[in-house]
Chains A and B, each alone.
Chain A
Amino acid sequence: VVEGLALLDLGVSPYSGAIFHETPLIIYLFHFLIEYAELVFMITDVLTAVALYLAIQDFNKVVFKKQKLLIELDKYAPDVAELIRTPMEMHYIPLKVALFYLLNPYTVMSCVAKSTCAINNTVIAFFILATIKGSAFLSAVFLALATYQSLYPLTLFAPALLYLLQRQFIPIKLKSKSFWLYTMQYAALYLCSLVVIICLSFFLLNSWDFIPSVYGFILSVPDLTPNIGLFWYFFAEMFEHFSLFFVCVFQINVFFYTIPLAIKLKEHPMFFMFVQIAIISIFKSYPTVGDIALYMAFLPVWSHLYRFLRNIFILSCVLIVCSLLFPVLWHLWIYAGSANSNFYYAITLTFNIGQILLISDYFYAFLRREYYLTHGLHLTRPDGTEAMLVLK
């Protein structure tokens, strides 16, 4: 950002150097705020926490109302009393979410490093707040801002749409006219705001330079500086003529899970949103620990799933060990010269595998709870012996 600002002050396009890949709105924001940079990042973190707090507060109310409705409609099996959530246990969850975000070492590291990921997180948090409050317009605007900054929040369109449809009590049937009408409305709002923001950026800098620099950069991954993501090592090792194919494969991986998850989780759009944010932060081309901090902030919302989580202890150990080994192996590779990139990438792989297993563990626990709610806690096989639920 500093380089971009310097270039801007000189009157040259900030994208003519190879380092600056942020959007024009960011550069203009920092043009005025560069002296107060630390304060800006602290304020963004606080804003994110506040937005998450308010969002989860509203969400809890919605969840509780839905649960009450389902109990009254007798959709639950008779012996699931211990699985029903009470307002008492849900009372402190918003506070925990905010604290999880603020006190997460990853957030602190992100703030100290003054990574622009914090601004990404703020925009996504406001988007979630707007979605839960039910305002389609604000939600579309914030989603457009988030997509404008880094391309991947595009996939959050589906969970937001599902949530808003659910809120308006519009059933999700492909033949229903109101479904298509609402979808078209939301999509139109989103696309229009995106177009407005892009045009605004064009007028700010008087050139379309920023499109290849920002989006082309995210999609084509030219810079292979090691990070905690999966891309850099592969593309450093690969031959030139395969790189286009593999770039496509890797990028499709991020967007690929949206449709199947939408089909499976259409009744639970917020969980879908959580899983989608996690998938973005694992598979995006340049992840940072700030992205991880965002989805980890949501974990207290699903704290009622703890009894169904199978591997949470091992996985949290794996994540902590990998986070500690990252700087050690980086030091050994870059400063001591005794290790090489393989060691560092091994830890990156393990870290990402740990995250993936964490998400799939939560997913499995969620589905299990839903199954138990409708079929009862003590499952029996047809011949009467005790059965156990296994994910195949």
Chain B
Amino acid sequence: MGLLSDPHCRRALSRLVLRLNTPLCVLSYVAGLGWFLALAFQPLAPRTYMSENAMGSTMVEEQFVFGERALSYAREFAGHKKKAGGMPVAWLEKTMWNLGLEVHKQPFSRTLPFPDETRERYMVKGTNVYGILRAPRAASTEALVLSVPCSEGPHNNQAVGLMLALASYFRGQIYWAKDIIFLVNEHDLLGMEAWLEAYHDVNITEVRSSGTLGRAGAIQAAIALELSSDVVTSFDVAVEGLNGQLPNLDLLNLFHAFCQKNGLLCTIQGKLQRSDWDSLPAYAHSLQTLLLMVLAQASGRPRGDHGLFLRYRIEAITLRGINSFRQYKYDMTTVGKTLEGMFRKLNNLLERLHQSYFFYLLPSLSRFVSIGVYMPAFGFLILVLILKISFWAEREGSVGRGEGGQGPSPPLPLPESRPGLLALVPPLLICHAAGLALYFLPVLGQRVATQHFPVSESEAVVLTVIAIYVAGMALPHNTHRVLAGGGGGSDRGWMTLKLLALLALALQLGCLALLNFSLGFLLAATMVPAAAAAAPTGPKPVLAALLVLATPAVTLLLAIFLQRELLEAPASAGEGWQLFLAALAEGLLQHHLYGSFLCPFLALGAYPCWLLFWNVLFWK
């Protein structure tokens, strides 16, 4: 108990904390940001490597030659899709049956909480069609999934074609140890969620679908494919899943290895790797890639259909074929060979992928940053909060009681020793009530809103969100004056409130960083300076501006602008605002449809905490 009970050591530590607090905080914050920026420096990040022994090398002899067949299937699918005006269920069933697969279809329906403007849907009905290729000599205990979305218009036809060609090729091989499920899902994520829920016999969201389906055992890995052109110039891989969950790094390594073997160009975040790594443009490039990944992970949106598999502990990635203006093009056969290689390697798996990292950041496709390396950046930011907490705790201890020779002993605030503490309860209640209102009212109150204002439902929801958010800032902050009669007790009041708010913020960010590091880091980087500096004493306009800049909504807006900058398609102010409104609607929809926790966390956790700091700022 040396450090905690030895009085001399304690006194030295508390003196250090009290005197050097601001310089230490600034240093810690700068160190945190600097550490994060240093993550993008390529030589510091280790190369990716294959950890799983069973998936060792890329030594398979791919013999897929049905590129032309894939294209003809694609054209047939496109024709039938246009004729059916949606998913050509009967044609798909017949084709898969002729290929020798065990075909099942799953109708599903879902009514969205409010109409989705970007995809123009409200009451969704669809059908998923999937065929199971049973392994010839195995017991059907494990399965792999190749999923292809059925999208409107001319998109993803070639993906369906390639999938069918692969199915016909795979059917003729005898080495499959796991069943392979070829899934065509309608309405992208909605259909995928319906299929996954029915497959695992759970009911997490309120999708209504038919009951028992043909099953093939526990799914070990899944690949979602999106191809919209006859030839591709490169393949883009997307890893971020729902709530920022990432697949095992080995799956990415597998993809990278096979792309290199077959000579396919592969990109991540749409960016190609640069071979020179010690120049400034290369550093900027890898920083761009890293930031894009952080922003994508922080939003908690799945970047492809694979994102929903991760929740069920199924490793999955999405592969997108890109047809750009490069000269060298790859045909379907090469793509098919790559996929064949990947599936054959996945077939060799003895157990679920667990050897490699689950938490990582990717500055490029061949370099990764593991959790042990990127967590200290977040640790430094939380250190700022901890320094501030100990500062305020020590200040309170010494302001409260003048101890003789025993050193400061910060007491736990209990009613009998702190009569002014009751003044803190109203601000806490009001802030949390505002958070609850922000979470519940928009969707529940959209009917009322559309009756009284000439807006559509989704606009009503988004505008209600913004209205409640801004209204929270204007709520009465002077309840303490009514209760405690102002004067002497109020100084202690705002200090204790700030202490509680700092504690709440540190706790929330800490728990969040474990679940979704990018979101935790982003919120910490923006909220920590404003939270640490908020006080009723000091230049109020400056602090108020800083606090407004730190609020989660403004962070979202700035993040949208930053993302468009990084994608080299900068958005103007009006466009950015439209994107912001769309993002708000999307966030709410994702929460209700797939169970994303970004929306409830911001509404019930980050926003009340921020409102507490706003209260502290306007205490006097």
Query: In the assembly, what is the distance between CA of A324 and CA of B404, in Å?
Result: 36
CB < 8 Å neighbour of A386 from B4, B405, B410, B411: B405
Query: In the assembly, what is the distance between CA of A308 and CA of B412, in Å?
Result: 12
Question: B15 to nearest A CB, angstroms?
Answer: 16
Question: B397: nearest residue on chain A (CB-CB)?
Answer: A313
Q: Contact at A325–B514, with CB atoms within 8 Å? A: yes
Q: Contact at B503–A357, with CB atoms within 8 Å? A: no
Known: A307-B409, A338-B359. A321 touches B4 (CB 8 A): no
Give residues of chain B (337-359) contacting chain A, Cβ–Cβ below 8 Å: 352, 354, 358-359
Question: B389 to nearest A CB, angstroms?
Answer: 8
Question: A377 to nearest B CB, angstroms?
Answer: 8
Question: B218 to nearest A CB, angstroms?
Answer: 13
Across the A-B interface, give the 9 residue pairs with the lowest CB-CB distance, nearest first: A338-B358, A337-B313, A313-B410, A306-B411, A328-B511, A311-B4, A312-B412, A386-B405, A313-B393
Question: A329: nearest residue on chain B (CB-CB)?
Answer: B514
CB < 8 Å neighbour of B411 from A312, A335, A390, A391: A312
Query: In the assembly, what is the distance between CA of A325 and CA of B407, in Å?
Result: 31
Mark each residue of chain A from 71 to 109: 1 if its CB lies under 8 Å from any CB of chain B, else 0.
000000000000000000100100010000000000000
Residues of A within 8 A of B (CB): 89, 92, 96, 300, 303, 306-314, 316-317, 320-321, 324-325, 328-329, 331-332, 335-338, 357, 360, 364, 377-378, 386, 388, 390-391
- 27 pairs of residues in contact across A and B, judged by CB atoms under 8 Å: A303-B414, A306-B411, A306-B414, A308-B409, A310-B407, A312-B412, A313-B393, A314-B4, A316-B412, A317-B389, A317-B503, A320-B507, A324-B507, A324-B511, A325-B511, A328-B511, A328-B514, A332-B515, A335-B311, A336-B310, A337-B352, A337-B358, A338-B245, A357-B4, A386-B405, A390-B6, A391-B5
Query: In the assembly, what is the distance between CA of A337 and CA of B417, in Å?
Result: 46
Interface centre among A300, A313, A314, A328 (most CB of B within 10 A): A313
Query: In the assembly, what is the distance between CA of A360 and CA of B313, in Å?
Result: 43
Number of A-B contacts (CB under 8 A): 83
Q: Contact at B417–A306, with CB atoms within 8 Å? A: yes
Mark each residue of chain B from 392 to 407: 1 if its CB lies under 8 Å from any CB of chain A, else 0.
0100000001011111
Query: In the assembly, what is the distance between CA of A146 and CA of B564, in Å?
Result: 66
Query: In the assembly, what is the distance between CA of A311 and CA of B407, in Å?
Result: 11
Does B153 sit within 8 A of A, measured CB to CB? no
Question: B310: nearest residue on chain A (CB-CB)?
Answer: A336
Q: Which residues of B contact A325 (CB under 8 A)?
A: 510-511, 514
Q: Contact at A328–B5, with CB atoms within 8 Å? A: no
Q: Which residues of A contact B411 (CB under 8 A)?
A: 306-307, 309, 312-313
Query: In the assembly, what is the distance between CA of A13 and CA of B401, in Å?
Result: 62
Q: Contact at A310–B511, with CB atoms within 8 Å? A: no
Question: B406: nearest residue on chain A (CB-CB)?
Answer: A388
Q: A310-B5, A316-B412, A388-B7 are in contact. List 11 more A-B contacts (CB 8 A).
A: A96-B416, A306-B414, A312-B409, A313-B412, A317-B389, A320-B503, A325-B514, A338-B358, A377-B404, A390-B5, A391-B1
Q: Contact at A337–B416, with CB atoms within 8 Å? A: no
Q: Which residues of B contact A386 (CB under 8 A)?
A: 405
Known: A306-B411, A324-B507. A337 touches B354 (CB 8 A): yes
Main secondary structure on chain A at its contact with chain B? helix
Query: In the assembly, what is the distance between CA of A308 and CA of B10, in Å?
Result: 15
Q: Contact at A310–B409, with CB atoms within 8 Å? A: yes
Question: A101 to nearest B CB, angstroms?
Answer: 15
Question: A381 to nearest B CB, angstroms?
Answer: 12
Q: Which residues of A contact B7 (CB under 8 A)?
A: 388, 390
Query: In the assembly, what is the distance between CA of A92 and CA of B414, in Å?
Result: 12
Q: Contact at B416–A312, with CB atoms within 8 Å? A: no
Residues of B in contact (CB 8 Å), total 35
Q: Which residues of B contact A307 (CB under 8 A)?
A: 401, 403, 409, 411
Interface centre among A316, A320, A328, A337 (most CB of B within 10 A): A337
Known: A321-B510, A328-B511. A309 touches B313 (CB 8 A): no
Residues of B within 8 A of A (CB): 1, 4-7, 10, 245, 310-311, 313, 352, 354, 358-359, 389, 393, 401, 403-407, 409-412, 414, 416-417, 503, 507, 510-511, 514-515
Q: Which residues of A contact B407 (CB under 8 A)?
A: 310
Q: Which residues of B contact A320 (CB under 8 A)?
A: 503, 507
Q: Contact at A89–B416, with CB atoms within 8 Å? A: yes
Query: In the assembly, what is the distance between CA of A300 and CA of B403, in Å?
Result: 22
Q: Which residues of A contact B410 (CB under 8 A)?
A: 312-313
CB < 8 Å neighbour of A328 from B311, B401, B403, B515: B515
Question: A96 to nearest B CB, angstroms?
Answer: 8
Q: Which residues of B contact A317 (CB under 8 A)?
A: 389, 503
Interface centre among B313, B407, B514 (most CB of A within 10 A): B514
Query: In the assembly, what is the distance between CA of A328 and CA of B311, in Å?
Result: 15
Query: In the assembly, what is the distance between CA of A362 and CA of B128, in Å?
Result: 63
Question: B116 to nearest A CB, angstroms?
Answer: 28
CB < 8 Å neighbour of A303 from B5, B416, B515: B416
Q: Which residues of B contact A391 (CB under 8 A)?
A: 1, 5
Query: In the assembly, what is the distance between CA of A308 and CA of B606, in Å?
Result: 35
Question: A243 to nearest B CB, angstroms?
Answer: 27
Query: In the assembly, what is the distance between CA of A338 and CA of B515, in Å?
Result: 10
Q: Contact at A336–B245, with CB atoms within 8 Å? A: yes
Q: Which residues of A contact B5 (CB under 8 A)?
A: 310-311, 364, 390-391
Query: In the assembly, what is the distance between CA of A112 and CA of B14, in Å?
Result: 42
Q: Which residues of A contact B393 (CB under 8 A)?
A: 313
Q: Which residues of B contact A96 (CB under 8 A)?
A: 416
Q: Which residues of B contact A308 (CB under 8 A)?
A: 406, 409
Query: In the assembly, what is the distance between CA of A331 and CA of B512, in Å?
Result: 12
CB < 8 Å neighbour of B405 from A313, A336, A337, A388: A388
Question: A321: nearest residue on chain B (CB-CB)?
Answer: B507
Q: Which residues of B contact A312 (CB under 8 A)?
A: 409-412
Q: Which residues of B contact A306 (CB under 8 A)?
A: 409, 411-412, 414, 417
Query: In the assembly, what is the distance between CA of A310 and CA of B1, in Å?
Result: 11
CB < 8 Å neighbour of B409 from A92, A309, A378, A388: A309
Query: In the assembly, what is the distance between CA of A332 and CA of B7, in Å?
Result: 39
Q: Which residues of B contact A309 (CB under 8 A)?
A: 409, 411
Q: Which residues of A contact B507 (CB under 8 A)?
A: 320-321, 324
Query: In the assembly, what is the distance between CA of A310 and CA of B408, in Å?
Result: 8
Q: Which residues of A contact B514 (CB under 8 A)?
A: 325, 328-329, 332
Q: Which residues of A contact B417 (CB under 8 A)?
A: 306
Query: In the assembly, what is the distance between CA of A81 and CA of B7, in Å?
Result: 25
Query: In the assembly, what is the distance between CA of A89 and CA of B359, in Å?
Result: 53
Q: Contact at B401–A336, with CB atoms within 8 Å? A: no
Query: In the assembly, what is the distance between CA of A321 and CA of B505, in Å?
Result: 12
Q: Which residues of B contact A331 (CB under 8 A)?
A: 515
Question: A378 to nearest B CB, angstroms?
Answer: 7
Question: A315: nearest residue on chain B (CB-CB)?
Answer: B4
Query: In the assembly, what is the distance between CA of A126 and CA of B549, in Å?
Result: 56
Interface centre among B245, B352, B403 (most CB of A within 10 A): B245
Q: Contact at B313–A336, with CB atoms within 8 Å? A: yes
Query: In the assembly, what is the distance between CA of A108 and CA of B102, in Å?
Result: 51
Q: Which residues of B contact A357 (CB under 8 A)?
A: 1, 4
Query: In the assembly, what is the distance between CA of A92 and CA of B417, in Å?
Result: 12
Q: Contact at B1–A360, with CB atoms within 8 Å? A: yes
Q: Which residues of B contact A378 (CB under 8 A)?
A: 404
Query: In the assembly, what is the distance between CA of A339 and CA of B323, in Å?
Result: 38
Question: B369 to nearest A CB, angstroms?
Answer: 16
Query: In the assembly, what is the distance between CA of A335 and CA of B358, in Å?
Result: 13
Question: B357: nearest residue on chain A (CB-CB)?
Answer: A338
Query: In the assembly, what is the distance between CA of A306 and CA of B358, in Å?
Result: 45
Question: B407: nearest residue on chain A (CB-CB)?
Answer: A310
Question: B421 to nearest A CB, angstroms?
Answer: 14
Question: B154 to nearest A CB, angstroms?
Answer: 37
Question: B601 to nearest A CB, angstroms?
Answer: 12
Q: Which residues of A contact B401 (CB under 8 A)?
A: 307
Q: Which residues of A contact B403 (CB under 8 A)?
A: 307
Q: Contact at A310–B412, with CB atoms within 8 Å? A: no
Query: In the assembly, what is the distance between CA of A14 and CA of B251, in Å?
Result: 48
Query: In the assembly, what is the distance between CA of A311 and CA of B13, in Å?
Result: 14
Query: In the assembly, what is the distance between CA of A360 and CA of B5, in Å?
Result: 11
Question: B401: nearest residue on chain A (CB-CB)?
Answer: A307
